[in-house]
Amino acid sequence: MSPRIVGNHIGGVNRPARSGRTLDNVAPATGAVVATIPDSSAEDVADAVAAAQSARDVWSGWTTAERADLCDAVADALEARLDELAVLESQDTGKPVSLARRIDIPRSIANFRFFAGAVRHSQTGAHEMADAINYTLRRPLGTVGLITPWNLPLYLLTWKTAPALATGNTVVAKPSEMTPQTAAALADIITEVGGPPGVFNVVHGLGPSAGQALVEHPSVAGISFTGGTQTGAIVGATASRRFAKLSLELGGKNATVVFADADLDEAVAGAARAGFTNQGQVCLCGSRLLVERPIYEDFVTKLAARVEGMVVGDPAGANTELGALISHAHRDKVEGYIQLAQQEGGTLLAGGSRPSLPSPFSGGAFLRPTLIGGLSPACRTATEEIFGPVVTVHPFDTEEEAIQIANGVRYGLAASVWTQDLKRAHRVSTALDTGMVWVNCWLKRDLRVPFGGVKDSGVGREGGAYSLSFYTQDKNVCIQL
Ligand code: NAP
């Protein structure tokens, strides 16, 4: 099958980069080129921003109810194409189709439905004085730039797009060049269901060229970025120089903390899910597992057996639990950490090698889920973000020690705590230096709650009212009575 040709979506029309240059989009499970995308430059970004700027008046002229209705229509259209989108997402990322069908696409649909509802019910304040009244107007920022990573492509793009559009902004999105297909489909859908031309634009291409040009563009009033901490530092510095509003959702090295009183089977299942969902490529993955010493051996034996039994292979397989990693280069990086772990004194408790798979997956970027013990919690393997199917496991003796290990990294995105002691759950959750804590669960999501990290895991919060606030500016009007 010849590769699909994906274009930039600018002013409601799909078109190539001005230079005519393209990039190959490779399916990591097979190594096949499945699409070509524009290798966009600053010129293409400027075209997209111009289209977004010229759509601002039309879009902000729509009532809130009309914009919410459009978001609902987008959700309906995504739902009608759920199966097709799940296959595209799996093709681009290597993730199991079943995961995309169960999580990525349904949550993308939910994002549009949720923010349609949120703007329908949003309110602003009024503050009375003895002789005057203040009221608050909430206005869109204007044109916003949305930059998203490859791990949850449509899920994260819609997490930003839905509130940005619902609050009246126009958008230029730059998805990861490795996962362009569902962003292209979203652009077509928004146009098909009646989004005015220029309201939602997508520019494909590389981060340092297309992404950087978007962050630098003087007419882009806000940047919402999700990606690695190193890139976030560049994006943050660039956007701050021109005082663009900024949200940064960055990397993590999240701890799963299991106390001896936890329900053992539930904690094992939870730790396995937290460690290896999406091949360990979720920013929230629990890649450091801290287990209280009395249950350490038992826990690790059970978890290692569970991890060894995980089915790795054909992303379309009905029983597949892990598909391919995002790319061969990324697998090289992850394998480099497995080697480093062994140099640092670690022992492989499960996995650690590539699976042997039949054609067409024999050359895919697959890696068996890997559990490593025997490492110091302060070593590089246990403190740097690997972003792959690798979990290190460490015993601890006291609650204080668990907290100290969990907090001993530069990141502070999320944690999960497993205990049946409610007081301890509360104490530990309060002491953890993270933006989010799950107790006896992981990745349970309510779209109203604040999402984001502390330390090097990011700046700002998204979700519910936090997203509505990010994509708008409040203006106070004071009337003398
Ligand atoms: P990345 O390399 O930082 O890339 C993220 C996005 O930024 C991509 O679209 C990338 O384009 C673009 N980009 C790169 N350089 C840029 C620049 N100078 N200016 C503007 N944009 C630029 O991250 P990734 O490898 O795709 O994703 C993995 C990382 O994302 C992990 O660290 C993970 O923890 C983090 N993440 C965080 C969250 C969260 O909510 N906190 C959620 C998911 C993922 P190219 O792909 O073309 O380089």
Number of structural domains in the chain: 2
The whole-number pLDDT of residue 60 equals 87
> Does the beta carbon of 217 sit less than 6 angstroms from any atom of ligand 1?
no
* Same domain as 222, residue 315: no
Amino acid, single-letter form, for residue 444: K
How many angstroms separate the Cα of 60 from the Cα of each of 202, 246, 262, 268?
20, 21, 52, 50
pLDDT at 337: 98
Euclidean distance between CA atoms 44 and 47, whole angstroms: 5
State yes or no: is 249 an active-site residue.
Answer: yes
Which has the closest alpha carbon to 194: 85, 55, 16, 49? 55
- Average pLDDT rounded to a whole number, residues 396-424: 98
| Residue 303 is assigned to a structural domain of this protein | yes
Q: Is the pLDDT of residue 240 over 80?
A: yes
Task: Judge if 97 and 114 occupy the same domain.
Answer: yes
User: Using CA atoms, how far apart are residues 480 and 304, in angstroms rounded to an integer?
Assistant: 70
Neighbours of 250 (CB within 10 A): 27
DSSP 279: G
In a domain, 132, yes or no: yes
Determine the 3-state secondary structure of 120 from DSSP: helix
Do you find a cis peptide bond into 360, omega within 30 degrees of 0?
yes
Q: What value does the CA radius of gyration of the chain take, rounded to a whole number of Å?
A: 23
Do 315 and 197 share a structural domain? no
One domain, residues 37 and 157: yes
Do 320 and 194 lie in one domain? The reply is no
Q: What is the mean pLDDT of residues 153-177?
A: 98
The mean pLDDT of the chain is 98
Label the pairing between strands 126-128 and 132-140: antiparallel
Residue pair 324/279 in contact by the 8 Å Cβ criterion: yes
Parallel, antiparallel or unpaired: strands 245-249 and 458-459 = antiparallel
Question: Against a cut of 0.95, is the pTM above it?
Answer: yes
Q: Does 71 participate in catalysis according to the annotation?
A: no
Å from CA of 360 to ligand 1 middle: 29
| Domain annotation covers residue 79 | yes
Looking at the structure, do residues 439 and 390 belong to the same domain, yes or no?
yes
Characterise 292 by phi-psi region: left (phi > 0), alpha (psi -120 to 50), beta (else): beta
Residue 452 covered by a domain: no
Does 226 contact ligand 1 (Cβ within 6 A)?
A: yes
Name the catalytic one among 249, 321, 335, 462.
Answer: 249
Q: Among residues 137, 209, 134, 147, which one has the least CA distance to residue 183?
A: 147
Domain that holds residue 186: 4-250+457-480
The active-site residue out of 71, 177, 283, 385 is: 283
| Mutation probe of ligand 1 site: the residue of 209, 231, 470 with most atoms within 8 A of C-beta | 231
Q: How far is the CA of 149 from the centre of ligand 1 (A)?
A: 4
Read off the pLDDT of each residue in 441-465 and give the average, rounded to a whole number: 97
- CATH number assigned to the domain comprising residue 273: 3.40.309.10
Q: Is residue 357 part of a domain?
A: yes
Report the C-alpha gap between 133 and 478 in whole angstroms: 6
- On whether residue 451 sits in a domain, the answer given is no
Query: Residue 280 in contact with residue 391, Cβ under 8 Å?
Result: yes
- Pair 269, 218 in one domain: no
Q: Is residue 380 part of a domain?
A: yes
Question: Which residue reads 């005519």 in tokens?
Answer: 20
Q: Is residue 360 one of the residues assigned to a domain? A: yes
CB 284 less than 6 A from any atom of ligand 1: no
Please check whether residues 37 and 64 belong to one and the same domain. Answer: yes
pLDDT at residue 88, as a whole number = 98
**pLDDT tens-place string over residues 181-218:** 999 999 999 999 999 999 999 999 999 999 999 999 99
* Binding site membership of 206 for ligand 1 (Cβ less than 6 Å): yes
240 & 319 share domain:
no
Residues 189, 151 share a domain: yes
- State pLDDT tens for residues 32-67: 999 999 999 999 999 999 999 999 999 989 999 999
Per-residue pLDDT tens digits for 327-386: 999 999 999 999 999 999 999 999 999 999 999 999 999 999 999 999 999 999 999 999
CATH of the domain at 188: 3.40.605.10
Same domain, 188 and 46: yes
Nearest CA, atom 35, ligand 1: 227
Q: In this structure, are strands 436-439 and 458-459 parallel, antiparallel, or unpaired?
A: unpaired
- Grouping H, G, I as helix, E, B as strand and the rest as coil, residue 451 is strand
Please list, in sequence order, all residues whose beta carbon lies within 8 angstroms of the beta carbon of residue 343, skipping any fewer than 6 positions away: none
Its sign, for the CA torsion 35, 230, 163, 99, is: positive
Query: For the residues 101-112, what does the mean pLDDT come to?
Result: 98
Give DSSP secondary structure letters for 21-81: -EEEEE-TTT--EEEEEE---HHHHHHHHHHHHHTHHHHHHS-HHHHHHHHHHHHHHHHHT
Same domain assignment for residues 136 and 31:
yes
pLDDT over 80 (residue 462): yes
The pLDDT of residue 1 is above 90: no
